[in-house]
A and B are shown apart, each in its own frame.
Chain A
Amino acid sequence: MPADRPTDPVGKHAAGANAAAPQGVQGVQLDPVLDALDPDRDRPAHVIETRRLTLHFGSKPILSSIDMAFERGSVTALIGPTGSGKSTFLRTLNRMNDKVRGFRTDGDVVLEGRSIWAPGTDLLELRRRVGMLFQRPNPFPMSIRDNVVAGVRAHRIARGKQLDVVAEQRLREVGLWDAVKDRLGDSPFRLSGGQQQLLCLARALAVGPDVLLLDEPTSSLDPISTEYVEALLRQLAPALTLIVVTHNLAQARRVSRTTMFFYDGRLVEHGPTDALFEHPSDPQTERYVTGRIG
């Protein structure tokens, strides 16, 4: 792991630096002047909405009738026991399940007012806007630099010398630059697990997503790397909407503003993280967050 704490991120995520600690409702600008300048003011407040979303694998129902709206710039934690459907839910949001045999959906997922399954939707562009970080770091078998810019190249966002700039900027953004700047041509697999995950994060950020889906992003990392990644996620939030699946309840409390609790294919309860943990309204939620069911 890099020794330094997350540095002040550059570029569009710079605004996130002072919002690292959750305080009140983020994303709501109190200053009317700033509010008028907000480029997002004409866009829907909810980046992603699911409407009566029901998922099946073959005849087996995975999730039923999920209604949920993800506010722009928020961090949402998805918690629940293994097999509760939270990962499947997450992977539906960027259509990663579409190719799975027997996968069917009812209801809808709406990204910025438009169904992600609407005819004419560009799947590649959808995945550029809705990025993903996996449980195990999965750098590609190419150099560190090429890993960072793999998506940038594929989407033709930058080319030639610009790619070096992008690589440096994104590696700085995740705090990996100092650790790898002298070995950008090296294999990524010589990095530690935590560094590999940061590299994957840099790769995902490089294509400029609006939403980042994280599937247990720290479950294969050591505690120090985990802490580092969490700090980074808090910084990214106001510019990016984050949806995090986690088995780590403490992590959900640390990083998220909203929490969704899944149990046995149902969205049992969702709401502000503090409220859900302190005063769960459903007895099942209470049993889970107090560790009586896992």
Chain B
Amino acid sequence: MPRKQRRVVFTVLFRLGTFLALALVLSPAAWLLASVVAKAVPHWRWSVLWTGLTSTGGGLLGPVTGTLILMAGVLVVAGSVGVLAGVHLSEMARPRKNGAEGGTWLRMASDVLSGFPSIVLGYVGYVALVVGLHWGFSLLPAVLILSLMVVPYIAKSTETALRQVPTAYREGAEALGMRTGDTLRKVVLRSAAPGIVTGLLIALAIAGGETAPLLFTAEFSRTLWTGALVHAHGFGYLTYVVYTFWDTPSKQANYLSYDAALILIAMVLLLLVAARLIVARTQRHSESRAR
């Protein structure tokens, strides 16, 4: 085959390959979304958002607020710990004498932690917190275990975002005699903000969609949250509804399961939109936006 033809064939095959890969990624997502919407929408009623669960049906007020509270808790706990750990890894960890990168142990611990299956973390939470500290199935052990799960992710995305900040910004700030803290807050973090915020919100989405560790730490409750951090008798959240209600004999419960799935997906989409908005706001002075 002449060279030119070979090149054309290769190009076509390559484009086809990339297109197929894209389709492989998109089609299950689209199919999932479509089937959830198709099952939830026909019998959708807005009152699921403000009525409580009953033994025969009712609404999802408890699980929806429960998932939101869990996410808020994870944002506070894992967000602060993860971002600080990322800042430490990128900015503070001193290089070793032999020239190796600093923060090796923290990074390794973080990688190991991220490798734990979530159900194992859930079991650890059950043994150590629910039973060991007599906290019972409640909000605090659930938040702590979910946080443990996503902290490595947040730390990694924060570190990566900080490392991508141009050296010129840091040098410029240093040469002006700005304090390390000011440089970090006003120059470095600002320019790393999109990466950090995106990491945080994806971590929240992961936490909100998690079931396994919650089965061990929060169990479930049909009632609304009473405000108790510990010593509650279970804590309601959406994924439990999705996970258990869909194959019960009750039609009402099946519907609630699909509603819960739809609400979860909507929450994740909202998080992504929020991420975009925050990024656009913090980046209005950034170098890349001006080009």
- The reply to whether the CB of B173 lies closer than 8 angstroms to some CB of chain A is yes
Interface string of B151-186 (1 = CB under 8 A from A): 000000000000000101101111111110010001
Chain B residues in 8 Å Cβ range of A126: 177
Contact between B289 and A150, CB atoms less than 8 A apart: no
Other-chain residue from B175, B286, B290, B291 in contact with A127 (beta carbon distance below 8 A): B175
- The reply to whether the CB of B254 lies closer than 8 angstroms to some CB of chain A is no
Contact between A188 and B285, CB atoms less than 8 A apart: yes
Q: Which residue of A lies closest to B284 (CB)?
A: A187
Contact between A154 and B172, CB atoms less than 8 A apart: no
Interface string of B251-291 (1 = CB under 8 A from A): 00000000000000000000000000000000111110111
- The reply to whether the CB of B249 lies closer than 8 angstroms to some CB of chain A is no
Other-chain residue from A94, A96, A141 in contact with B190 (beta carbon distance below 8 A): A141
- The reply to whether the CB of A270 lies closer than 8 angstroms to some CB of chain B is no
Chain B residues in 8 Å Cβ range of A155: 177
Q: Which residue of B lies closest to A124 (CB)?
A: B177
Q: How far is the CA of A212 from the CA of B154 in the complex (A)?
A: 41
Contact between A96 and B290, CB atoms less than 8 A apart: no
Chain B residues in 8 Å Cβ range of A188: 285
Q: How far is the CA of A151 from the CA of B187 in the complex (A)?
A: 12
Contact between A187 and B290, CB atoms less than 8 A apart: yes
- The reply to whether the CB of B115 lies closer than 8 angstroms to some CB of chain A is no
Interface bracket on B: 20 to 34
Contact between B179 and A189, CB atoms less than 8 A apart: no
Contact between A142 and B178, CB atoms less than 8 A apart: no
Contact between B175 and A207, CB atoms less than 8 A apart: no
Chain B residues in 8 Å Cβ range of A200: 172
Known interface pairs A134-B172, A187-B284, A187-B290. Does A141 touch B187 (Cβ–Cβ under 8 Å)? yes
Chain B residues in 8 Å Cβ range of A125: 177
Q: Which residue of A lies closest to B181 (CB)?
A: A154
Other-chain residue from A96, A142, A207 in contact with B174 (beta carbon distance below 8 A): A96
Interface bracket on A: 20 to 34
Q: Which of A165-194 contact B (CB under 8 A)?
A: 186-190
Q: Which residue of A lies closest to B177 (CB)?
A: A127
- The reply to whether the CB of B227 lies closer than 8 angstroms to some CB of chain A is no
Most buried by A among B95, B172, B175, B286: B175
- The reply to whether the CB of A254 lies closer than 8 angstroms to some CB of chain B is no
Q: Tell me the smallest distance from the CB of B278 to a CB of chain A, in Å.
A: 15
Q: Which residue of B lies closest to A125 (CB)?
A: B177
Known interface pairs A154-B182, A187-B285. Does A94 touch B291 (Cβ–Cβ under 8 Å)? no
Q: Tell me the smallest distance from the CB of A245 to a CB of chain B, in Å.
A: 14
- The reply to whether the CB of A123 lies closer than 8 angstroms to some CB of chain B is yes
Contact between A150 and B173, CB atoms less than 8 A apart: yes
Q: How far is the CA of A150 from the CA of B171 in the complex (A)?
A: 14
Contact between A143 and B178, CB atoms less than 8 A apart: no
- Dominant SS at the B interface? helix
Interface string of A121-136 (1 = CB under 8 A from B): 0011111100110101
Chain B residues in 8 Å Cβ range of A138: 166, 168-169, 171-172
Other-chain residue from B95, B182, B186 in contact with A142 (beta carbon distance below 8 A): B186
Most buried by A among B176, B190, B291: B176
- The reply to whether the CB of A140 lies closer than 8 angstroms to some CB of chain B is yes
Q: Tell me the smallest distance from the CB of A148 to a CB of chain B, in Å.
A: 11
Contact between A127 and B172, CB atoms less than 8 A apart: no
Q: Tell me the smallest distance from the CB of B192 to a CB of chain A, in Å.
A: 10
Chain B residues in 8 Å Cβ range of A203: 176
Other-chain residue from A132, A141, A154, A204 in contact with B178 (beta carbon distance below 8 A): A154
Other-chain residue from B95, B168, B178, B190 in contact with A136 (beta carbon distance below 8 A): B168
- The reply to whether the CB of B221 lies closer than 8 angstroms to some CB of chain A is no
Chain B residues in 8 Å Cβ range of A41: none
Chain B residues in 8 Å Cβ range of A142: 186-187, 190, 285
- The reply to whether the CB of B28 lies closer than 8 angstroms to some CB of chain A is no
Known interface pairs A140-B173, A142-B190, A142-B285. Does A134 touch B168 (Cβ–Cβ under 8 Å)? yes
Contact between A141 and B172, CB atoms less than 8 A apart: no
Chain B residues in 8 Å Cβ range of A140: 169, 172-173, 186-187
A positions within 8 Å CB-CB of B: 94, 96, 101, 123-128, 131-132, 134, 136, 138-143, 150-151, 154-155, 186-190, 200, 203-204, 207
Q: Give the top 8 A-B pairs by smallest Cβ distance, nearest first.
A: A189-B290, A127-B177, A138-B168, A132-B175, A151-B176, A124-B177, A154-B178, A187-B285
What are 6 A-B pairs with beta-carbon distances under 8 A? A101-B95, A134-B171, A138-B166, A141-B191, A189-B286, A189-B287
